C-alpha cells in the first residue's frame, strides 16, 4: 500500500501528493520547517497524515537541536511547534499531535538529548497508533453492513490521508476483504480533485471496482438506487457531533437525508474537538481562488472572474447516521451521546 510518509529513525520522506497519480516523487525533510512547507503546499494532506507529519517534523527538529541546553532546546522546540501549528487550521489532528509533543517537551529531563529521544518515540507512537486505529475503524464500519453494498465516498481518506489503511477508505477496504463490497462511487472532489487523483489511485492499486463521478452526479445515482451508503472522513468533530470535512460533504449529507440513505463519518477519536460546542466554532480554511478558476494550472474561467474557496464545510450532526471510531460506532451522534461514549467507551445502542 502506498504510504504518505516514510520514516526511518531520523529521516523523513514525504510523498508529494500533488504529483500523483502521474509521478511518485519523494521529498526529503531535514527539519520542522521542511515538514511545515510540505503541509502548507498540500504535498501531504488528510487529517491524520498531517498530524503524523507534524509529529515527525518535531522529532526531526528535536534531533537537530539535541546538543543545546535544556532551556534553549525547549524554547526553540516551542517555536517549531508553533510553526507546524500555523500550517493548516481545520484538521484538529494536527493540534492534537502538537499537544502530545508539547506535553513530552514539558517532562522533567536530564538533558535535551533525552527529551529529543522521547519526542521521537512519541512521534513513532502516534504513527503506530494510527495504523491500529484505522484497522479498528475499518472493522467497526464493515460490521454495519450484512450484505454486499455500493458505497459513495468523497475526498481521499485512504493510506495517503493517514499513516496507513485509511478511515472511510479503511471501511471500504475492509468491506472488500469481507466480500461485502460491490462497487465504490468516487466523487472527484472539486476543486483539489483528491477523489479523482488519490482515491481512484488507491482503489486501482487494491483492484477495488470503482467509478469516478463529478460531485454533481451523486444525486442522480442515489435516485437510481445505486448508493447504499455514503462514508466520508472528518477533519474536526465538535462536541455535539457537527463534522467538518472536505467541501461538498454537507451537500452529500443533505442528499442522503432526502433519499433515505445512511450517511456515515469514519474518524479516529483524535478528530473530536470536545473544546468546541458545535460546528459554528470550527475554523474553515480558505484557500486560493485560483484553485477554483484553474484546473492544474490551466485557467478555465474568465480572467476577471473571482471565486470562493472554502476548503471544508460543516455537516450538522442531525444528518449523520453514525460516527465510526476505533472504539465502535456512535449512532445518531449528539453532545450527550458523544460525552457519555467518550467517558466510558460504551457504544450507543440505537
Ligand atoms: O484538504 P485535505 O485533502 O487535507 O482534506 C482531507 C479531508 O477532508 C479528509 O476527508 C479528512 O482529512 C479525513 S482523512 C482520513
Residues 121 and 160 in one domain: no
DSSP string covering 133-161: HHHHHHHHHHTT-SS-EEEEE-S--STTT
Residues 283 and 340 in one domain: yes
Q: Best substitution site from 245, 273, 292 to test ligand 1's pocket, by max atoms within 8 Å of Cβ?
A: 245
230 located within any domain: yes
> Hey, whose CA ends up nearest to atom 6 of ligand 1?
46
Task: Kindly report the pTM of this predicted structure.
Answer: 0.96
Residue 184 near residue 172 (C-beta atoms within 8 A): yes
Number of domains the chain is built from: 2
Q: Which of 134, 156, 178 is the last residue of a domain?
A: 134
Torsion angle, alpha carbons of 327, 333, 338, 342, to 10: 0
Residues 202 and 292 in one domain: yes
32 located within any domain: yes
Atom of ligand 1 nearest to the CA of 167: 15
Residues 43 and 156 in one domain: no
Residue recorded with cell 463534522: 243
Q: Best substitution site from 161, 188, 197, 270 to test ligand 1's pocket, by max atoms within 8 Å of Cβ?
A: 161
Examine residue 164 and say whether the peptide bond preceding it is cis (omega within 30 degrees of 0). no
Ligand 1 neighbourhood includes 233 CB (under 6 angstroms): yes
Q: Residues 165, 50, 256, CA angle at the centre, nearest 5°?
A: 65
Which residues are paired to 26 by β-bridges?
A: 15
Q: Best substitution site from 155, 172, 173 to test ligand 1's pocket, by max atoms within 8 Å of Cβ?
A: 155
Cα of 158 vs centre of ligand 1, distance in Å, is: 9
Residues 145 and 123 in one domain: no
Cα of 162 vs centre of ligand 1, distance in Å, is: 9
What Å distances lie between residue 342 and 102, 157, 183, 328, CA to CA? Answer: 23, 23, 33, 11
Residues 165 and 150 in one domain: yes
CA distance 53 to 163: 9
Residues 257 and 162 in one domain: yes
Phi-psi region of 4 (alpha: psi -120 to 50; beta: other; left: phi over 0): alpha
Cα of 245 vs centre of ligand 1, distance in Å, is: 7
Q: Which of 78, 106, 134 is the last residue of a domain?
A: 134
What Å distances lie between residue 95 and 51, 104, 139, 284, 320, CA to CA? Answer: 7, 14, 27, 15, 24
Ligand 1 neighbourhood includes 80 CB (under 6 angstroms): no
pLDDT for 349 equals 41
Cα of 233 vs centre of ligand 1, distance in Å, is: 7
Cα of 50 vs centre of ligand 1, distance in Å, is: 9
Residues 51 and 146 in one domain: no
Phi-psi region of 189 (alpha: psi -120 to 50; beta: other; left: phi over 0): left
Ligand 1 neighbourhood includes 162 CB (under 6 angstroms): yes
Task: Let me know if 266 is exposed, middle or buried by CB neighbors in 10 A (0-12, 13-18, 19+).
Answer: buried
Residues 154 and 50 in one domain: no
248 located within any domain: yes
292 located within any domain: yes
233 located within any domain: yes
CA distance 111 to 333: 46
Per-residue pLDDT tens digits for 293-338:
999 889 999 999 999 999 999 999 999 999 999 999 999 999 999 9
pLDDT for 296 equals 84
Q: Which of 89, 100, 171 is nearest to 129 (CA)?
A: 100
Residue 29 near residue 57 (C-beta atoms within 8 A): yes
Q: What is the CATH number of the domain that holds 329?
A: 3.40.50.10470
Domain span including residue 25:
5-134
Q: What is the CATH number of the domain that holds 16?
A: 1.20.120.420
16 catalytic? Reply is no
350 located within any domain: no
Buried b / exposed e over 136-157, threshold 16 CB at 10 Å, is bbbbbbbbbbeeebbbbbbbbb
CA distance 81 to 35: 11
Residue 171 near residue 138 (C-beta atoms within 8 A): yes
Q: Which of 155, 130, 133, 110 is nearest to 56 (CA)?
A: 130
Residues 161 and 82 in one domain: no
CA distance 203 to 118: 37
Residue stretches of the chain with pLDDT short of 70: 344-350
Residues 172 and 300 in one domain: yes
Residue count of the chain: 350
Residues 186 and 276 in one domain: yes
Cα of 28 vs centre of ligand 1, distance in Å, is: 23
Ligand 1 neighbourhood includes 155 CB (under 6 angstroms): yes
Taking every pair of Cα atoms in the chain, the longest distance, rounded to a whole number of angstroms, is 66
Ligand 1 neighbourhood includes 324 CB (under 6 angstroms): no
Ligand 1 neighbourhood includes 311 CB (under 6 angstroms): yes
Q: Which of 130, 235, 242, 273 is catalytic?
A: 235
334 located within any domain: yes
What Å distances lie between residue 14 and 2, 30, 218, CA to CA? Answer: 11, 11, 33
Cα of 247 vs centre of ligand 1, distance in Å, is: 10
349 located within any domain: no
Ligand 1 neighbourhood includes 246 CB (under 6 angstroms): yes
Atom of ligand 1 nearest to the CA of 271: 13
Examine residue 149 and say whether the peptide bond preceding it is cis (omega within 30 degrees of 0). no
Buried b / exposed e over 187-197, threshold 16 CB at 10 Å, is bbbbbbbbbbb
Q: Which of 134, 153, 171 is the last residue of a domain?
A: 134
Amino acid at each position: 500500500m502506498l504510504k504518505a510518509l516514510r520514516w526511518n529513525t531520523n529521516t523523513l520522506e514525504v510523498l508529494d501528493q500533488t504529483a500523483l497519480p502521474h509521478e511518485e516523487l519523494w521529498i526529503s525533510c531535514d527539519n520542522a520547517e521542511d515538514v511545515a512547507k510540505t503541509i502548507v503546499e498540500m504535498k501531504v494532506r488528510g487529517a491524520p497524515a498531517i498530524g503524523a507529519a507534524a509529529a515527525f517534523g518535531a522529532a526531526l527538529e528535536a534531533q537537530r537541536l539535541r546538543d543545546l541546553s535544556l532551556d534553549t532546546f525547549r524554547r526553540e522546540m516551542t517555536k517549531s511547534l508553533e510553526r507546524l501549528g500555523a500550517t493548516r487550521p481545520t484538521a484538529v489532528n494536527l493540534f492534537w499531535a502538537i499537544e502530545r509533543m508539547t506535553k513530552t517537551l514539558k517532562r522533567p529531563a536530564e538533558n535535551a538529548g533525552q527529551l529529543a529521544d522521547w519526542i521521537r518515540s512519541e512521534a513513532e507512537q502516534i504513527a503506530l497508533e494510527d495504523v491500529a486505529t484505522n484497522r479498528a475503524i475499518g472493522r467497526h464500519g464493515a460490521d454495519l453492513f450484512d450484505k454486499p453494498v455500493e458505497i459513495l465516498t468523497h475526498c481521499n481518506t485512504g493510506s495517503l490521508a493517514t499513516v496507513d489503511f485509511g478511515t472511510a477508505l479503511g471501511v471500504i477496504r475492509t468491506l472488500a476483504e469481507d466480500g461485502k463490497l460491490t462497487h465504490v462511487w468516487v466523487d472527484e472532489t472539486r476543486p483539489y480533485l483528491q477523489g479523482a487523483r488519490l482515491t481512484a489511485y488507491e482503489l486501482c492499486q487494491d483492484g477495488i471496482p470503482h467509478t469516478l463521478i463529478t460531485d454533481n452526479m451523486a444525486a442522480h445515482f442515489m435516485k437510481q438506487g445505486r448508493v447504499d451508503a455514503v462514508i466520508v472522513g472528518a477533519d474536526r468533530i465538535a462536541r455535539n457531533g457537527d463534522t467538518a470535512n472536505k467541501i461538498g460533504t454537507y451537500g452529500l449529507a443533505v442528499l442522503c437525508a432526502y433519499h433515505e440513505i445512511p450517511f456515515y463519518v469514519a474518524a479516529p477519536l483524535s478528530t473530536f474537538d470536545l473544546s468546541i460546542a458545535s460546528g459554528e466554532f470550527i475554523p474553515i480554511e480558505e484557500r486560493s481562488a485560483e484553485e477554483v478558476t484553474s484546473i492544474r494550472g490551466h485557467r478555465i474561467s474568465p480572467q476577471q472572474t473571482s471565486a470562493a474557496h472554502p476548503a471544508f464545510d460543516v455537516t450538522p450532526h442531525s444528518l449523520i447516521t453514525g460516527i465510526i471510531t476505533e472504539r465502535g460506532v456512535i449512532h445518531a451522534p449528539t453532545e450527550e451521546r458523544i460525552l457519555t461514549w467518550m467517558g466510558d467507551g460504551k457504544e450507543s445502542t440505537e
